[in-house]
Amino acid sequence: MGRRARGTLERSVADVACAIPAAPRTSGAVGTARRMRRLLDAAGDRANVLVSFVVDLDPDGGALLYRLLTDGHLPPDTVRPPTGSP
């Protein structure tokens, strides 16, 4: 920072950038998942949206989703049976 007449401060862009902490960055996957969740939460019929999403996946994407949901890749409390299921 430099001094100007009458004791006022002059700041450069670099000074300001150092003074403002950077917002935490989320990974692309986390950000995309959050956007997907907001869209799903805003939808009226979650089941229909999810079915449409899965139907629109290409075969590789569908197979990957199936493996992720069934092969223990997710934390145990992440995927739960629907309420009222045995």
Tens of pLDDT, residue by residue over 20-72, are 555 556 678 888 888 888 888 888 888 898 899 999 999 999 999 898 888 87
Residue count of the chain: 86
Longest pairwise C-alpha distance within the chain:
78
Residues 6+ apart with CB under 8 A from 67: 73
Tens of pLDDT, residue by residue over 25-36, are 667 888 888 888
Per-residue pLDDT, averaged over 5-18, amounts to 57
CA pseudo-torsion sign 59, 64, 69, 70: positive
Alpha-carbon distance 29 to 78, whole Å?
A: 17
Supply φ then ψ for residue 35, to 5 degrees: -65, -40
Q: For the chain, which residues make up each domain, given as ranges?
A: 12-70
